[in-house]
């Protein structure tokens, strides 16, 4: 009887231990789910914070700069979020950069020319053909010849790209071309992106991040072709318009004498861009700031695809006509040396590029931005729970408007080794 009782007791103890272990596992799983929910709510809070920042510092085409707001390790209850950004000067780093991303600092897939697309790193002529064919509007819906020659023959979309991720649908767009070495799309060099072929992605192990096409393109860059008060701008493209509408404005702002000088310098030829108007009219930086909101060379309600030279990186700038590799390097160097001068206006370009170069680049450049993306990375309590979302805001109206939202959590950890080590240490103090 004693032996039987002992065996029964051992069985009850085993069942107790088993159920206790199951309850512990369930508790940990539930705790993990709660941490993920908290992280997702923190990411949503980070997007709302980004909208607030844009509403304060990003109106009228202005760019919120990183010293205007907090973008790294922002506490939200028990959670923390970061705004994952990019360094426009592209200094090599193995740690991510934080801040909002200006969509006008990239090439627009819907407006970029063949030459501009071919200048992108990792781009191939075949992929350029496929991109241009994908967006081209074919006659009678029969499809573009690039896709029609495939086996089996296919139809192109025949309309604008709606998202940059739509590149995955374009023929010949492999992950190596789209993402390059930056497999988690965080703009920083992670350990697995600098180890050759030992782990994905394949990289050259040179200690520098070499992102793919996706890093340098957008579909969201556009600006309203109106003044701040909503009234139409003055189209200065033709001589007749300049005589009828521009001359009275110049006389009002600068006086009859200076207005006559500017009109004489402009001549009777056609102007293709506000930048060309600035350099051909010999306007100083101060004069340009007084009329930049009044000038256009387009009759459309919006202007799409212009690149903001105040925020674009060297890679994108090098793709623009009239700038090239040398001009892009000079622009970035000047911005680094004169950070206060290169905010809000591109009048400083005359200190870097020739008049001819600015004229050629003019149709493709701007000094305003109206679309920004907030790449929010959030971590739950005690470093558990992870969420990453990307939200694109449009600022062409008086308040921020969400035009695109995407969950990027599946791309993996994006905050670099320093934040990971800090969270693993379990310390409660902030970085």
| Residue of 366, 369, 227 whose CA lies nearest to 294 | 227
> Hey, what are 371's tokens?
């679309």
The per-residue pLDDT for 194 is: 82
CA atoms within a 13 Å half-sphere pointing along the CA-CB vector of 305: 16
The per-residue pLDDT for 90 is: 63
> Hey, what are 217's tokens?
């393109």
Instruction: With a cut of 50, say whether residue 236 has pLDDT above it.
Output: yes
> Residue 31 — φ and ψ, nearest 5°?
-65, -40
Question: Per residue in 340-382, pLDDT tens?
Answer: 888 889 999 999 999 999 999 999 999 999 999 999 999 998 8
The torsion angle over the Cα atoms of residues 346, 351, 353 and 358, rounded to 10 degrees, is 40
Confidence of residue 297 (pLDDT cuts 50, 70, 90): very high
Averaged pLDDT, 115-119: 96
Q: What DSSP designation does 71 have?
A: -
Query: What are the domain boundaries of the chain?
Result: 52-100+370-425, 111-218, 223-366
Question: Per residue in 21-39, pLDDT tens?
Answer: 777 777 777 777 888 999 9
Confidence of residue 428 (pLDDT cuts 50, 70, 90): very low
Confidence of residue 140 (pLDDT cuts 50, 70, 90): very low
The per-residue pLDDT for 420 is: 84
End-to-end CA distance of the chain: 64
> Is the model's pTM score more than 0.75?
yes
Of 158 and 371, the structure prediction assigns the larger pLDDT to 371
């Amino acid at each position: 009887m004693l032996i039987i009782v002992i065996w029964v007791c051992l069985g009850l103890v085993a069942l107790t231990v088993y159920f206790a272990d199951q309850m512990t596992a369930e508790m940990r799983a539930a705790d993990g789910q709660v941490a993920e929910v908290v992280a997702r709510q923190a990411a949503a809070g980070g997007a709302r914070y980004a909208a607030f920042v844009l509403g304060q510092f990003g109106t009228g085409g202005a760019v919120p700069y990183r010293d205007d707001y907090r973008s790294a390790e922002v506490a939200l209850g028990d959670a923390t979020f970061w705004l994952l950004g990019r360094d426009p000067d592209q200094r090599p780093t193995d740690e991510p950069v934080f801040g909002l991303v200006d969509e006008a600092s990239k090439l627009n897939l819907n407006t970029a020319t063949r030459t501009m697309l071919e200048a992108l790193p990792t781009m191939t002529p075949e992929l350029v053909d496929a991109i241009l064919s994908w967006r081209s509007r074919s006659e009678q819906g029969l499809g573009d010849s690039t896709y029609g020659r495939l086996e089996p023959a296919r139809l192109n979309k025949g309309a604008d790209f709606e998202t940059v991720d739509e590149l995955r649908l374009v023929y010949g767009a492999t992950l190596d071309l789209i993402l390059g070495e930056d497999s988690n799309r965080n703009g920083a060099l992670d350990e697995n992106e600098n180890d050759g072929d030992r782990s994905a992605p394949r990289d050259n192990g040179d200690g520098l991040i070499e992102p793919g096409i996706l890093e340098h393109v957008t579909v969201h860059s556009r600006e309203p072709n109106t003044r701040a008060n909503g009234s139409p701008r003055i189209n200065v493209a033709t001589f007749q318009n300049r005589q009828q509408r521009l001359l009275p404005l110049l006389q009002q702002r600068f006086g009859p004498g200076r207005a006559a000088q500017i009109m004489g310098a402009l001549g009777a030829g056609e102007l293709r861009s506000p930048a060309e108007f600035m350099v051909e009219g010999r306007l100083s930086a101060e004069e340009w700031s007084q009329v930049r909101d009044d000038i256009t060379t387009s009759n459309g309600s919006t202007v799409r695809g212009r690149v903001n030279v105040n925020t674009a990186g060297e890679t994108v700038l090098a793709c623009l006509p009239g700038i090239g590799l040398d001009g892009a390097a000079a622009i970035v160097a000047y911005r680094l040396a004169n950070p206060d001068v290169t905010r809000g206006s591109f009048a400083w370009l005359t200190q870097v590029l020739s008049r001819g170069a600015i004229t050629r680049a003019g149709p493709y450049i701007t000094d305003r931005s109206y679309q920004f993306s907030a790449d929010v990375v959030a971590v739950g309590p005690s470093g558990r729970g992870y969420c990453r979302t990307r939200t694109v805001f449009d600022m062409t109206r008086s308040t921020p408007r969400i035009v695109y939202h995407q969950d990027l959590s599946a791309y993996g950890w994006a905050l670099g080794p320093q934040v990971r080590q800090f969270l693993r240490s379990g310390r409660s103090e902030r970085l």
